[in-house]
Structure 1
């Protein structure tokens, strides 16, 4: 049973890191074109979001244009009731396929202080930040500015909290250790 839980944790974290580890998105490779391809632009007005610009790669972690802020506004606030700012005791974990460490923060004073203290180390590790509690786009933009050049994504941490038994953040999760 413990081995199965370990595998689930590993797969979950690997999937998340791989999804958000790259700033840019790869262009699609055309394998076959039967000549009946239709442009997607006819369907975009139904979505009512600036989809064309929402997923463009930014050149820096602090670049926020109006289109990106509008998309963020639709996904914010992000709240994770299971996680609150507080002390996290270090513990050994085994996530051998975790390519890049992940750190979890919120838009609170403790997280900002922790980020300032550990930003250089996080940058050296090429860690990806997961913002689990943020009210609005302005708070997220401020966090991204203070975290630069680190990558930050605003996502709920409910699943992660359950998988790792976390109740507090900020925390750094690597392939071998969870620590504050």
Structure 2
């Protein structure tokens, strides 16, 4: 639970930046965050792309809308389809099953939404789903 709250705190601060500026340096270590951090690449998760039924959840720990996607083609298509709605909601994005910052940078530039590379397993367990893409907002989890 503390890890989820920590991720949410980071996400709220990230939104104030509009899009998290990620840059790649020439050294391998400059493109990676501290491995003790829950944020960084590669970000792996047990969660997979798939369908979920919309449901109500306790969102008292979420003060902003949050969405979760993967780096797969279908998640990218979903992001394009829901981009305007997510922007209107000022949603914070968590991307998982992603191996490199280049993918994250490309998706941020295309969507103009903040994306944090994280293992979303604790979050998915908290809300009781195992598939993405999802949106958590206003007491609901939906696709």
Q: Shorter chain as normaliser: what TM range?
A: 0.7 to 0.9
Please give the alpha-carbon distance, in whole angstroms, between the structure 2 residues aligned to 1:73 and 1:124.
30
- Corresponding residue to 2:85 among 85, 110, 121: 121
Give the 3-state SS of the residue equivalent to 1:79 in structure 2. coil
Output the TM-score relative to the length of structure 2. Answer: 0.80
Kept in 1: contact 2:23–2:31 (CA 8 A):
no
Please give the alpha-carbon distance, in whole angstroms, between the structure 1 residues aligned to 2:127 and 2:22.
32
- Corresponding residue to 2:118 among 130, 144, 155: 155
Look up the match of 2:14: 23
> Which structure's residues are more often helix, by fraction?
1
1:101-127 deviation digits (Å, cap 9, x = unpaired): 110001111111111111111111111
Please give the alpha-carbon distance, in whole angstroms, between the structure 1 residues aligned to 2:97 and 2:29.
18
Q: CA RMSD in A?
A: 2.6
The total of aligned residue pairs comes to 136
**Highest relative contact order (Cα 8 Å, sep 6+), 1 or 2?**
2
What does 1:1-80 correspond to in 2, within 5 Å?
13-23=4-14, 61=19, 63-67=21-25, 70-74=29-33, 75-80=40-45
Look up the match of 1:171: 134
Output the TM-score relative to the length of structure 1. Answer: 0.65
- Corresponding residue to 2:50 among 78, 83, 86: 86
* 1:18 shift after superposition: 2.1
* 1:73 shift after superposition: 3.4
